Structure 1
Amino acid sequence: MPTFTAPDGTTLAYRLDGRGGPLVCLPGGPMRASVYLGDLAGLASHRTLVLLDLRGTGASQKPADPETYRCDRQVPDVEALRVHLGLERMDLLAHSAAGDLALAYAAAHPGRVNSLTLVAARGRTLGIDFTPDHRREAAALRVCEPWYPAAAVALEKSFAGTASDADWDAMIPLFYGRWDAAAQAHSAADVVESNEEAGDRYASAGAFEPAAARRAVAGLTAPVLFYAGELDGGPLPRVAAEIASLVPDARLVVQPGGGHFPWLDDPDHFRRTVVAFLDAVPPVPARDA
């Protein structure tokens, strides 16, 4: 895998997949290796995916200072990748917890963002997040599923802080629009692909300054796509709409029957929507690194 060096000396790796203009992809988790994104339902046939392994995940080096796992302290990593790729501006895609990082990057470097695609993305950078009641609301949509009773009990245990490993396993179907073989294989790799210590530090105290970030993204001129799943509780579509309302040139698309990994639930819908959005954005100009 190609690598580059972060400002603090940490060696970071990324994977290239596809053809066409670059689309820099930030994985969620938080702090899960980018391999779980796959080729994002065939987006690699339309764009060259630049799939970054965040520090301490996948093929990227663990930092000397674990405090740098904090979300805001990874913004320089994203900027270093832009410089390394020789891009004046980036088309940026982020999933789940990486929405925090992408929004923080856009707040810090608004002129370096060509477009922003936020998939099932959190908005803690802007002071908006999902709640236990949001999770319950989404879970209630699955009441007819055979796995729902066990998942509902496990969900309440997670809120109480008493969930066992078996309870966490019982909750996993809530994150997928379809709990089929593909979803089960995808979820099975989560533990080995994730850095738990890094995930615990990602949103630690000081990571977010919502008032300042809101002021900064209010001046963002790049087009933004918020892509939410109908069945997802983190965020619910109406919460995604609330986040989108804080960004000037933003649109929201809700995938029917989609969960937290919508490219698995309906690959065609996901691919068509994201490709149409990106095709309407002026191409990224190259520059000398």
Structure 2
Amino acid sequence: MLLLHGLGGNASTWDGFLRGGALGHEVWYADLPWQGSSAEPGWTRRCDPQRVVTDLVNGAAPGCAPFDLVVAHSYAAGLVLAALAAGDVRPDAVVLVSPFYRADPASFDWPTISYSLNDFHLVFVEALRVSGASRPARTRREASHRDWMGRQLRDRVGPYGWMAFFDLYLRTPFLRLDEVRVPVLVLRGDADTASRPEDSHQLARALPNARFASLPGCGHFPMIEEPAEFSRVIGQFLESTWS
């Protein structure tokens, strides 16, 4: 099993899932070039994110074979989806967590861009809240401080990182998903305000061999908020798709 974190995240995203045993699989994970604590401005100019993910899934790491199962979150989920559509990767099964996808290019309007850009820091504020990296905000001042921390993480990802994310999002209506035969679970939290509900529903419908699941009360990081339920849903998916 390969675990791939989203934009500005890191390997600790999966800690709760790993503490639960990760369904008994041998687990590999990576701190990717877009992890929040070490990403440098302009990192997209020094690497091809699509190639990074493709090589990892295909077992390019030393001593590593191609992976059977890939679990990818948010931005990484989009990269895995693009690699599947291009036929560059073919694991036995894929879980796409909190993905960004649109079926119609006309659905990208100016308010969509404004929301994704001007409220980008809110994803990092949520990550801080659910991970316990900052204590619960009991006062307006503490809430303001967590908002400041979210903006610091946003600034670390930088404009290049945001452009890489949104360019990938813009390209999703043109992905050839009709020939993707790999079993896919599209998994989201029903309280996710970063990725729209329509994104996941449309993606599950567009993929020929996909299932959809939503975790109640979870936002953009269901693996952190409800790791046991997250693991259970993935386990059910694997039991029903793998012999």
| TM-score of the aligned structures, taking structure 1 as reference length | 0.60
Amino acid at match of 1:276: Q
Q: Which runs of 4+ in 1 moved over 6 A?
A: 58-65, 128-134, 160-163
Contact 1:32 1:193 in 2 (8 A): no
Q: 1:276 aligned to 232, 236, 241, which one?
A: 236
1:77 aligns with 2:59: no
Q: Distance in 1 between matches of 2:36 and 2:92?
A: 27
Equivalent residue, structure 2, for 1:26: 4
1:172 aligns with 2:125: yes
Q: RMSD across aligned C-alpha pairs, in angstroms? A: 4.4
| Cα distance, 1:280–1:110 mapped onto 2, change above 3 Å | farther
Give the C-alpha shift of residue 58 in structure 1. Answer: 7.3
Partner of 1:83, secondary structure, is: coil
Alignment of 1:71-150 (within 5 A): 73-81=48-56, 82-84=59-61, 86-88=64-66, 90-109=68-87, 112-123=90-101
Q: Which has the higher strand share?
A: 1
Q: Distance in 1 between matches of 2:123 and 2:60?
A: 43
Q: 2:198 aligned to 235, 238, 244, which one?
A: 238
Q: Distance in 2 between matches of 1:259 and 1:130?
A: 22
Give the C-alpha shift of residue 38 in structure 1. Answer: 2.0
Q: Distance in 1 between matches of 2:163 and 2:50?
A: 15
Deviation string, structure 1 residues 192-223 (Cα, Å, up to 9, x no partner): 69841352342365885445522xx2111111
Contact 1:118 1:224 in 2 (8 A): yes
Q: 1:182 aligned to 111, 114, 132, which one?
A: 132
1:256 aligns with 2:216: yes
1:50 aligns with 2:28: yes
Q: Distance in 2 between matches of 1:210 and 1:93?
A: 19
Deviation string, structure 1 residues 168-210 (Cα, Å, up to 9, x no partner): 579935x79xx67837469x78756984135234236588544
| Cα distance, 1:223–1:59 mapped onto 2, change above 3 Å | same
Partner of 1:258, secondary structure, is: coil
Equivalent residue, structure 1, for 2:142: none
Q: Distance in 2 between matches of 1:271 and 1:203?
A: 27
Alignment of 1:208-247 (within 5 A): 209-210=171-172, 212-214=174-176, 217-247=177-207
- Extract unaligned runs of 5+ from structure 2: 137-145
Q: Distance in 2 between matches of 1:133 and 1:160?
A: 8
Contact 1:26 1:51 in 2 (8 A): yes
| Cα distance, 1:230–1:211 mapped onto 2, change above 3 Å | closer
Q: Distance in 1 between matches of 2:217 and 2:67?
A: 34
Q: Distance in 1 between matches of 2:82 and 2:173?
A: 12
Percentage of identical aligned residues: 22
Give the C-alpha shift of residue 89 in structure 1. Answer: 5.0
Equivalent residue, structure 2, for 1:8: none
Contact 1:46 1:275 in 2 (8 A): no
| Cα distance, 1:193–1:272 mapped onto 2, change above 3 Å | farther
Partner of 2:60, secondary structure, is: helix
| TM-score of the aligned structures, taking structure 2 as reference length | 0.70
- Extract unaligned runs of 5+ from structure 1: 1-22, 135-157, 284-289
How many residues are matched? 226
Q: Distance in 2 between matches of 1:243 and 1:117?
A: 12
When Rg is computed on C-alpha atoms for both structures, the one with the higher figure is 1
